[in-house]
Structure 1
Amino acid sequence: MNRLPNVSILLVACVFAAVLAGCAGPSADRKKEADARMRMGVTYLDQRNLPMAMQELTKASKLDPGNAEVDMALGLVYQARGDMSKAEEDLRRAIDKKPDYADARNNLGIVLAERKAWNEAIREFEAAAANVMYTTPERAYFNLGEAYRAKGDPANAEAAYRRALRANEQYAPAYVSLSAVFGRQGKWKDAASVLTRCVEVLPEYAPGWMDLGLAYLRLSRPADALKSFDKVLEVSSDPEMRKQAAGYMALLGAEKR
């Protein structure tokens, strides 16, 4: 008669132990393998070998289901494949697991901007940039500026680009986009000023010289434009950019004659 309670207690203990084992998470070896596969998947992604990237990252996810970095990497693969719905799903999953994951929030903002969900994208970029642990806030600020510019809000776009440059004075795309904001408003002196600073900080940045030359043309300063286009030929190896600069130089030379 006394045996039944003992059997019941033993059964409950076994079930409880099994539950604890299931909740314990992957072993150190599984985590190590997952990390290795994740790194390999990211390498394949960098090489644009998307099938192999997906294969490695899927295996990594099975080995370590709680790894937010794997989810983000999967989101980037789907984004590269053009499957924005899947990309958004994986990036949101990464953020659910790690709410302060700035890289994931920045990339989610990019995906949301792709479908013109500007307000949602802006919130994600702001959240990423506000994270004091984020090592590249200039990217989030730049993307924030791009979202505001696409939304038709030049004042906030300008502010975001300036914050990107305060975070990293050498972040070239912010100079170009900030000058474009001024150019669209007909403020070519301001655009030229921004681009002049750009080529002072980054003298080998050919797009900065090209846009500066175009700004000088708008300001009817052909001699300065000619120097800028000549600088493009000096620092650029891009055939299309060189062809464009040479074309402007030929046009200015003809006008000079």
Structure 2
Amino acid sequence: MRGIKLVLAFFMVLVIAGCATKGSSTNSEKNQAHEAYTRLGFQYLQSGDTSNAKTSFQRAIEIQSSYAEAHNGIALAFQIEGDDALAEKYFRRAAALEPSSAMMHNNFGAFLFAKGRYEEACKALARATEDPFYNRRSQAFENLGRCYRHLNREDAAKHAFQRALQVTANRPVSMVELSEILLAEGNYPEADKQFQKFLALVESRRVEHYAKSLWVGIRLAREERNASRAATYALILKNLFPESKEYQEYKESTR
């Protein structure tokens, strides 16, 4: 299978090269060439080959300098390589070229979020949620909610998680995050309602518990005076996530 993929990739390069080198190339051929180079770049990215990915994206940009997807692709490659300055440069260029593209803003926002630049990240992610036809809009709302929580804007985060779940009902992270916010508000019935939805996904083996879900589960179990359930969650948290912030918070709560 890998050999077939390599042959197909090589064949695509030959086709692109043929289109790009003809002196009488039409606009249609040029469009096909830069789009094909960009597709090839993303294939290289998926296989972890950032060097060839960058080369493909650069060829696309040489053919069509205003092609935002190629700038976005090369930004992702630099992000993977840890070259943050160049990644940011190309992310900004991609967003500037297609200011209405939710994908460009979501990718740039995720990059800024990973760097702890939450104010900037929230602005970019908010832009990404504005497109009602964006196929990852629920993810953008979820990312925005997590971003707002880092800024201690709990009301805004709550609204973002609610919107994420309205767009796509089975987002486990949004369920857990919303449950924790409701728990802090003292709204235990609604907090438990969200957590039960998450547990249904766990029981159906569609997702697994993680540190925060276990810590939320412990606190809800305490509210219900269910010591057995709280102890079970605590043991799992200790065994699977002993270095997590949530386990440290749990230990503090027992002192």
Calculate the TM-score normalised by the size of structure 2: 0.70
Partner amino acid for 2:70? Answer: V
Matched-pair contact (CA < 8 Å) for 2:40–2:56: yes
Give how far 1:37 is off.
2.0
Give unpaired runs (5+ residues) of structure 2. 1-24, 243-255
Partner of 2:209: 207
- Aligned counterparts of 2:161 and 2:110: Cα–Cα separation in 1: 16
Partner of 2:5: none
Partner of 2:181: 181
Partner of 1:167: 167
- Aligned counterparts of 1:153 and 1:214: Cα–Cα separation in 2: 24
Please, which moves more after superposition, 161-170 or 42-51? 42-51
Partner amino acid for 1:196? Answer: Q
1:133-148 equivalence runs, <5 A: 133-148=133-148
Give how far 1:152 is off.
1.4
Give unpaired runs (5+ residues) of structure 1. 1-24, 233-239, 244-257
Matched-pair contact (CA < 8 Å) for 2:218–2:229: no
TM-superposition CA deviations, 1:17-36 (whole Å, max 9, x none): xxxxxxxx973223222222
Partner of 1:248: none
Matched-pair contact (CA < 8 Å) for 1:129–1:141: yes
- Aligned counterparts of 2:153 and 2:241: Cα–Cα separation in 1: 33
Q: Give the alignment's Cα RMSD to 1 decimal.
A: 3.2
Give how far 1:185 is off.
6.2
Matched-pair contact (CA < 8 Å) for 1:109–1:122: yes
- Aligned counterparts of 2:146 and 2:158: Cα–Cα separation in 1: 10
Give how far 1:138 is off.
0.9
Give how far 1:158 is off.
1.3
Calculate the TM-score normalised by the size of structure 1: 0.69
Matched-pair contact (CA < 8 Å) for 1:79–1:87: yes
Partner of 2:21: none
- Aligned counterparts of 2:46 and 2:181: Cα–Cα separation in 1: 31
TM-superposition CA deviations, 1:161-190 (whole Å, max 9, x none): 111111110122211222343456676665
- Aligned counterparts of 2:40 and 2:58: Cα–Cα separation in 1: 12
Partner of 1:37: 37
- Aligned counterparts of 2:198 and 2:41: Cα–Cα separation in 1: 36
Matched-pair contact (CA < 8 Å) for 2:121–2:147: yes
- Aligned counterparts of 2:160 and 2:94: Cα–Cα separation in 1: 26
Partner of 2:8: none
- Aligned counterparts of 1:170 and 1:126: Cα–Cα separation in 2: 21
Matched-pair contact (CA < 8 Å) for 1:149–1:181: no
Quick check: 1:218 aligned with 2:218? no
TM-superposition CA deviations, 1:194-243 (whole Å, max 9, x none): 2102233563222277456434443331344578799x9xxxxxxx7599
- Aligned counterparts of 2:95 and 2:220: Cα–Cα separation in 1: 45
1:187 to 1:26, Cα distance in 2 relative to 1, 3 A: farther
Matched-pair contact (CA < 8 Å) for 2:95–2:101: yes
Aligned residue for 1:134, secondary structure, equals coil
Partner of 2:19: none
Partner of 2:155: 155
Matched-pair contact (CA < 8 Å) for 2:222–2:230: no
TM-superposition CA deviations, 1:6-53 (whole Å, max 9, x none): xxxxxxxxxxxxxxxxxxx97322322222221121122122222222
1:213 to 1:118, Cα distance in 2 relative to 1, 3 A: closer
Please, which moves more after superposition, 149-158 or 74-83? 74-83
- Aligned counterparts of 1:99 and 1:109: Cα–Cα separation in 2: 13
- Aligned counterparts of 2:240 and 2:95: Cα–Cα separation in 1: 40
Aligned residue for 1:206, secondary structure, equals coil
Give how far 1:55 is off.
2.0
- Aligned counterparts of 2:234 and 2:183: Cα–Cα separation in 1: 18
